[in-house]
Amino acid sequence: MTPTSDVPQDCAYFRTILICLRKYFCFKGRASLGEFWSWISFMILLSFIPLANKAAWLLLFIPTVSVFVRRLHDTGRPGWLLLGPLIGGVLIVFFGVLLDGNVDYRLATGNDYAFVGLWGGVIVSFITIPYVLVLTCLAGSPDDNQYGSKR
């Protein structure tokens, strides 16, 4: 008996959320368009809860990446395409922390590396995030592909 079999059929949204939580570390296989957008809408709803916002995002980061990778697999594309937005985000966070919101950092030290890294992350993110989002909106492969069978 699976954990999702206890959920009534008319609660498909919650069943989908449970499926994503059950596949916490599962980066293989495929995720349907409905499964992907149910998870994304769940994450958006969580962002409106003030106390749970940061904790939920930290705890649910891995299953979010997992469902993105599986969604890319469903469209016949490799999950490695998600590295662009992740690298851009890491660059923004790392160099943003390094700058510590100090706009005069470059003027005081003459060091442009932090600004170049920060803007590099912004540029990478602005290019790759819309690209990946468009790919996740495409219809999945109607047949089996190299990432798994169609459910």
Per-residue pLDDT tens over the stretch 61-120: 999 999 999 999 999 999 999 999 999 999 888 877 776 656 555 555 556 777 778 888
Q: Is residue 91 part of a domain?
A: yes
Q: What is the pTM of this model?
A: 0.82
The Cα diameter of the chain in Å comes to 63
The whole domain housing 97 covers: 9-137
Q: Is residue 145 part of a domain?
A: no
Q: What is the mean pLDDT of residues 48-73?
A: 87
Phi, psi of 27 (to 5 degrees): -105, 5
Number of domains forming the structure of the chain: 1
- Is 147 part of a structural domain of the chain? no
Percent helix, strand, coil in the chain (nearest 5)? Answer: 65, 0, 30
Query: Does 150 reside within a domain?
Result: no
Q: Where does the chain show beta strands of DSSP type E?
A: none
Whether residue 151 lies inside any domain: the answer is no
- Residue 148 is given by DSSP the state B
Tally DSSP H helices, then E strands, for the chain: 7, 0
The answer to whether position 3 is within a domain reads no
Domain membership of residue 122 (yes or no) is yes
For residue 75, the 8-state DSSP code is: T
